[in-house]
Amino acid sequence: SIPNNPSSAFFGFMGVTSAIVFANLGAAYGTAKSGVGISSMGVMRPDLVMRSIIPVVMAGVLGIYGLITAVIINGKLDTPATYSSYSGYAHLGAGLTVGMSSLAAGLAIGIVGDAGVRANAQQPRLFVGMILILIFAEALGLYGLIVGLVVASTASEKGAGLCTSYAP
């Protein structure tokens, strides 16, 4: 059996980092871009500001996806002597899956939220269409969360017994 590589823990920690960092980048962009649209629209239609907060809330949920994944991966990390390369790569993949999916969803939510709240101020019948588009954009992040959690939670079992401890 091959000894465990001590650097495999690096990949696990990079999974934790990429999950939270990329998810928060998506959440921040979605919040900022939608917030600009809400502020611009609120000058002429202040009565619609609270109704237009929905894209900001949906963008904030993306950061929670990254937080959940980072905490779960961190709980699965083990000492470098017993943490297999398989687990390290799987946790990196899980973190990147959730982080990048949430980043993409945040970009979509920000752009749709900005244009949607401005358009809704001019034509209120567009509200339902905007919400549907936002739901489908949010679903992209949710798909990444589901896949990332499955990969992260099964890595320990699938990678068990592949390597021996490198410690003497």
Quick one: average pLDDT of 127-146?
A: 97
Rounded Cα distance between 152 and 129, Å, is: 35
Per-residue pLDDT at 166 exceeds 90: no
Query: What is the number of other CB atoms lying within 10 angstroms of the CB of residue 67?
Result: 16
pLDDT score of 129: 96
Instruction: Label each residue of the chain as H, E or C.
Output: CEECCCCHHHHHHHHHHHHHHHHHHHHHHHHHHHHHHHHHHHHHCHHHCCHHHHHHHHHHHHHHHHHHHHHHHHHHCCCCCCCCHHHHHHHHHHHHHHHHHHHHHHHHHHHHHHHHHHHHHHCHHHHHHHHHHHHHHHHHHHHHHHHHHHHHHHHHHHCCCCEECCCC
Read off the pTM: 0.91
Per-residue pLDDT at 164 exceeds 70: no
Q: Each residue of 10-29: pLDDT tens digit?
A: 999 999 999 999 999 999 99
pLDDT score of 85: 87
